[in-house]
Structure 1
Amino acid sequence: MKDKFSHINKNNQPKMVNVGGKKVTKRNAVAKATMFLGEEIISLFNNKELVTKKGPVFQTAIIAGIQAVKKTSELIPMCHPLLINGVNVDIKIIDEVHIEILCDVSIEGKTGVEMEALTGANIAALTVYDMCKAISQKMVIKEVKLIEKTGGKSDIKNG
């Protein structure tokens, strides 16, 4: 089982995977965060946006998600710094109490961008929480998951 962990060397110490021998391929990952905001907060949105004293909630969260993608290697020790081709963060209200955040990251590189997509979705959700906490602190980041990965050794589709 220990052999399956790519970030542990033969002496059972942490290591960063050497991707030098890998081929550059197009890679993509999409992560989704589902968040409970509650009716109190959702009812305040007008035209799919809520403007607070801190600024527009979704627009600010989108920018935070994009920044998080670019800084993933600074936050997660074994992630490689990457030259990201593109990031798209989309936030939408999915019912009277929930929102959904999708973070789609693409690259042409030697390693995947799953961690970047997951980090972007998480930070966007945390930003929504931060911007709305004056209204209610009953919000819950319910689930963050990888829903799609293409390129590299295998493709994944978790829907």
Structure 2
Amino acid sequence: MSDFTHINKDGKVTMVDVGDKAITKRKAVARTIVVLPQPVLAQLANGDIQTKKGGVFQTAIIAGIMAAKKTSELIPLCHPLSLDSCNITILLNEKQQLEIDCTATITGKTGVEMEALTGASIAALTVYDMCKALSQDIVIKETRLMQKTGGKTDVGKA
């Protein structure tokens, strides 16, 4: 009927049955790019932006990890997963844009792409929320899967 994994033979929405899949070590890395306007960049010191609410990047890292752990509560057909690890890094690249990377790993029957994508996305939204008082010209530019390993197909560099 369809190549979509979340559509059954009758054309109805379904959660993918992973019961017969092999347990493997799986990893996914997602990246979100955030463009910060000059008034926000001017506040960057010692690797973070300090606000009355606290350190922006440190708060974004915590928010992203929390979101990755709750992905199945946010995206209806995702399996609830017990992550082995979730790590978020935030750095300013050569274009003066933030690169927010979320790396999620699991030993299980299904991948962690959605967890990595969710973690990077929510970290970016947290940066926006904490910096919007300085400027609302912040742009969350793109979120994409950079790497996926351990399942049926690998994506990106191992």
TM-score surpassing 0.5?
yes
Q: State the 1:96 CA deviation.
A: 6.4
Identical aligned residues as a percent: 56
Deviations 1:124-155 (A, max 9, x none): 00000000000000000001000000001010
1:146–1:158 contact (8 Å) kept in structure 2 = no
Contact 2:89/2:100 (<8 A) preserved:
yes
Could you tell me which residue of structure 2 aligns to residue 79 of structure 1?
78
Q: Distance in 1 between matches of 2:98 and 2:157?
A: 19
Query: 8 Å contact 1:31–1:145 — kept in the other structure?
Result: yes
Q: Using structure 1 for the length normalisation, give the TM-score.
A: 0.96
* CA shift digits 1:76-127 (9 cap, x unpaired): 0110000100001000111464111000000000000000000000000000
- Report matched runs for 1:69-148 at 5 Å: 69-95=68-94, 97-148=96-147
Determine helix, strand or coil for the equivalent of 1:31: strand
| Alignment gaps of 5+ in structure 1 | none
The alignment's C-alpha RMSD in Å is 1.4
Cα distance in structure 2, aligned partners of 1:145 and 1:124:
14
The Cα of 1:50 is off from its aligned counterpart by 1.1
Equivalent pairs, count: 158
Q: What is the aligned partner in structure 2 of residue 151 from structure 1?
A: 150
Say if 1:51 and 1:57, in contact at 8 Å, map to a contact too. yes
Contact 1:42 1:96 in 2 (8 A): no
Match of 1:48 in 2: 47
CA distance in 2, matches of 1:96, 1:41: 15
- Measure the CA separation in 2 of the matches of 1:146 and 1:158: 11
Q: Distance in 2 between matches of 1:92 and 1:9?
A: 42
Aligned to 1:21: 20
